[in-house]
Structure 1
Amino acid sequence: MDRKTLQSRTKKFHVDVIHLCEAFPKNAAGFETAKQLIRSAGSVGANYRASVRAKSPADFLYKIEIVLEEADESHYWLEVVKDAKLQAGSELDRLIKEANELTAIFAATDKTNKTKQNRM
C-alpha cells in the first residue's frame, strides 16, 4: 500500500471514529471512552503523517512504533465500546476490523524497518 493511500486510510479511520463517538451515551462512561478513543484514533493518522517526514531511518522507526501503539490502543477501545454496549452495529464491527488491519500493517512496517536497520 502506498504512502498516500495509507495517509487517506488513517485519516478516514479518525473521522469515522469521531462519527461513531457522537452517538455514545451522554454519561461519564460515554464521554471518557469517546475521549480516549478519539485521541488514539487521531494519533494514528497524525503520527503516520509525521513518519513520512522523518529525519532519519531511526526517526521513522520511532514514529512508526508510536503509530503501532496507537492503532493497537484504538483497537482496544473499540472492543471496550462493544463489550460495554456503548454502541453496536456494523459500523463498530467495521472499525474494529480496520483497527486490527492498521495494527497489522504497522506491525509489519515496524518489523521490516527493524530488519533493514539491523543490516546496516
Structure 2
Amino acid sequence: MGKSIVEGKSYSFALRIINAYKYLSGEQKEYVLSKQMLRSGTAIGALCREAEHAQSKADFLNKMNVALKEANETEYWLMLLKDSHYIGAEVFNSIEQDCDELISLLVSIVKSTKTNISK
C-alpha cells in the first residue's frame, strides 16, 4: 500500500516548518516561539507515521487525535509569530493554509475512525 495523503502532506509540512525554524533562529534570532513551532509542526507527521502500525483502531484514533492537537498547536505558534512580526503575512498565509489543510484531513480521519469504531 502506498503512503497516505495525510502522511505525505504532513511530511512536506514538517519540511516547511524546519525551513521556517532555520530562518527564524538564524536570521531573526528568535528561538522560543520557533522552537515550539518546530516541535509541534514536526510531531504531526511522526504521529501519522506511528499510526500506520497502531496496535488497534483505538490506538490509531488516539494517535490521529494527538496529531490533530499538534496541528492546532502549530497554528497557534504561527499566529503568534505573525502577530509579533517575526514572519510576514505572506509567509504566514502560505504555511497556515497548509496547516489548515492538515487540520481538515485529520478532523475527517478522526471522525470517520470514530464512526467505524462505534459500528
1:23 shift after superposition: 2.1
Question: CA deviation digits over 1:37-80, x for unaligned, max 9?
Answer: 00001100100010111111111001100110001111111111
Task: Tell me which residue corresponds to 2:71.
Answer: 71
Tell me the equivalent position of 2:118: 118
Q: Which amino acid aligns with 1:111?
A: K
Say if 2:96 is the partner of 1:84.
Answer: no
Shift of 1:3: 3.9
RMSD in angstroms over aligned alpha carbons? 1.4
**1:88 Cα shift?**
1.0
Normalised to the residue count of structure 2, the TM-score between the two structures is: 0.89
Runs of 4+ with deviation above 6 angstroms? none
Equivalent residue pairs, number: 115
Partner of 2:62: 62
User: What aligned pairs does 1:5-84 form with structure 2 within 5 A after superposition?
Assistant: 5-24=5-24, 25-26=28-29, 30-84=30-84
- Per-residue deviation at 1:6? 2.4
Structure 1 unaligned residues grouped into runs of 5+: none
Q: Deviations over 1:13-52 (max 9, x none)?
A: 11111111222221xxx20011100000110010001011
